[in-house]
Amino acid sequence: MTARLIDGKALAAQVRAEVAARAAVLAAAGRRPALAVIRVGADPASEVYVRNKVAACKAAGIHSIHESYGDSLTEAELLGRIDALNRDDAVHGILVQLPLPAHIDAQRVIEAIAPSKDVDGFHVASAGALLVGRPGFRPCTPLGCMRMLAHIGMAQLRGKHAVVVGRSNIVGKPMALMLLAADATVTIAHSGTPDLAATCRQADVLIAAVGKQRMITGDMIKPGAAIIDVGINRLPDGTLCGDVDFAAASEAAGWITPVPGGVGPMTIAMLLSNTVQACEQA
């Protein structure tokens, strides 16, 4: 079997066009969606991510406010900025780019963001809303993965076994909850899972969110499975690869996402969608 590609770039373009249309409706009513993006410190990867998010906002008709601070910014000063943005009615979404410098408690900062503006979906209130099935902002990466599954006709997963490899608060855990909400039978694997290969081979839907290059090998794939590769790993030659051995997995899988050009573009598209949703709900 040779897997069919789930083209994240093309699907993200479709989502962004939908978002732009919603933003235009709001703008026509005098409400321009706005996202505040805060970056602290000199992490070069963060700089690229923030630049991409700001550019994506512009293309979708979302106003972005980009605040960039040096390493010397204190936690109290950052909390002060968030408080001001929380109270600013012209700002609908607030995103603090992670990682933050070590002297700042990232969780405290995330929880200072008003849940109504938590477009990253990382606030404990957003996590709780997801857990109990109430409306709230969903973390962008797993939300993008669900959109990819819907795109290939797998919005409903009753009778399917989904395996999520990785249990972080921003990807693995919310991913598992979203799959559960779609009626999948869900297994979460992590570094303490004894026979990862056997666990993965049960997966009709396999989500890899680990951060270890090509650790999911072809023999770990159930024939016909849908493989969503969240991992982003930089190889010594500077190119990117995922957590899945794409060439080998493509031989067995029914569907597969590439890296790059898979989940990454979807993550930004869902951030735009959440920001417009925040404005619609404001």
Catalytic residue IDs: 53, 97, 120
122-131 long-range contacts (CB < 8 A, ≥24 apart) are 122/169, 122/170, 127/169, 127/173, 127/174, 130/174, 130/177, 130/178, 131/177
207 is an interface residue for ligand NDP by CB under 6 A = no
Among 170, 203, 252, 272, indicate the residue that binds ligand NDP (CB under 6 A): 170
277 is an interface residue for ligand NDP by CB under 6 A = no
196 is an interface residue for ligand NDP by CB under 6 A = yes
**For ligand NDP, the closer CB: 79 or 261:** 261
Among 80, 190, 223, 239, indicate the residue that binds ligand NDP (CB under 6 A): 190
**For ligand NDP, the closer CB: 153 or 192:** 192
Pattern 97-126, ligand NDP, x by CB under 6 A: ------------------------------
149 is an interface residue for ligand NDP by CB under 6 A = no
According to DSSP, the residues that pair with 18 across neighbouring strands are none
8 is an interface residue for ligand NDP by CB under 6 A = no
* Neighbour order of strands in the sheet with 63-69: 63-69, 34-40, 93-96
Pattern 213-252, ligand NDP, x by CB under 6 A: -----------------xxxx-------------------
Among 46, 52, 168, 187, indicate the residue that binds ligand NDP (CB under 6 A): 168
**For ligand NDP, the closer CB: 8 or 136:** 8
Among 127, 162, 189, 269, indicate the residue that binds ligand NDP (CB under 6 A): 189
**For ligand NDP, the closer CB: 3 or 176:** 176
List residues near ligand NDP by CB under 6 A: 141, 165-168, 170-172, 189-193, 196, 209-212, 230-233, 263-264, 267
